[in-house]
Amino acid sequence: MAHDTHDHGHHHHDGGHSELSETALRVKALESLLVEKGYVDPAALDELIDTYENRVGPRNGAQVVAHAWSNAAYMEKLRADATGAIADLGFIGRQGEHMVAVENTDDVHNMVVCTLCSCYPWPVLGLPPVWYKAPPYRSRAVSDPRGVLAEFGVRLPDAVGVKVWDSTAEVRYLVIPQRPSGTEGWSEEKLAGLVTRDSMIGTGLALTPEQVAS
């Protein structure tokens, strides 16, 4: 489901840095307790964390985007059959069975939310950030998308429309950010370094060469 809007607005939204720190501490404490009591194998836990943070994570999505930026034929396949195109690069798995790619243009900026729960494309983006699952984001992404984007530091020209895509158990979305200027001739590996997790959710933009250099 997509929602179009040209509305403006800005409300305070707590990014939850303290909440994230508290959660991280609780997870660490729970992990230590489980390991101490012999319920969890530390090596297996490390393997699981590495899988979702590195192999099954935003780096995968960044490779998809960089390949699409560099290869027009792949971009066309991504538009027509995102699930198949992503699988072509080896990124398949739970919550990635039904993918749709939505492409940012000069006229439209796409943003993804899951208003009912926290459906999220794990194979290409890894684990969802805390704010993605939080009720304030899930409600305001639809009602005040420009305000939400502004809080993430994204301020779009008035002429650019915002389209909000609501993920469901059946369909998950991957935003293809616009390729930054000044990247002509770059390798896919170098281009992938410009693609952030937030830019593939739509709450951010791809990094510029200047941002990477600084």
Q: What is the pLDDT along the chain (214 residues), one digit of tens a residue?
A: 666 544 433 333 333 344 456 666 777 777 777 777 777 777 776 666 666 555 557 899 999 999 999 999 999 999 999 999 999 998 865 554 689 999 999 999 999 999 988 888 878 888 888 899 999 999 999 999 999 999 999 999 999 999 999 998 889 999 999 999 999 999 999 999 999 999 999 999 999 999 998 7
Question: Is 167 one of the annotated active-site residues of the chain?
Answer: no
Sort strands 108-113 and 2-5 into parallel, antiparallel or unpaired.
unpaired
Q: Comparing C-alpha atoms, which of 94, 90, 96 is closest to residue 121?
A: 96
Write down the pTM of the prediction: 0.75
Question: Is 214 one of the annotated active-site residues of the chain?
Answer: no
Catalytically annotated residue among 18, 21, 70, 119: 119
Catalytically annotated residue among 21, 32, 117, 139: 117
Catalytically annotated residue among 114, 139, 181, 187: 114
b/e sequence 108-130, b meaning 16+ C-beta within 10 Å: ebbbbbbbeeebbbbbbbbebbe
Which residues, 6 or more positions from 128, have their beta carbon under 8 angstroms from its beta carbon? 118, 120
Question: Is 117 one of the annotated active-site residues of the chain?
Answer: yes
Q: Please give the Cα distance from 145 to 11 (Å, whole number).
A: 11
Domains, the chain, with CATH or none: 2-213 (3.90.330.10)
pLDDT at 47: 65
Question: Is 70 one of the annotated active-site residues of the chain?
Answer: no
Catalytically annotated residue among 18, 32, 70, 118: 118
DSSP for residue 180? P
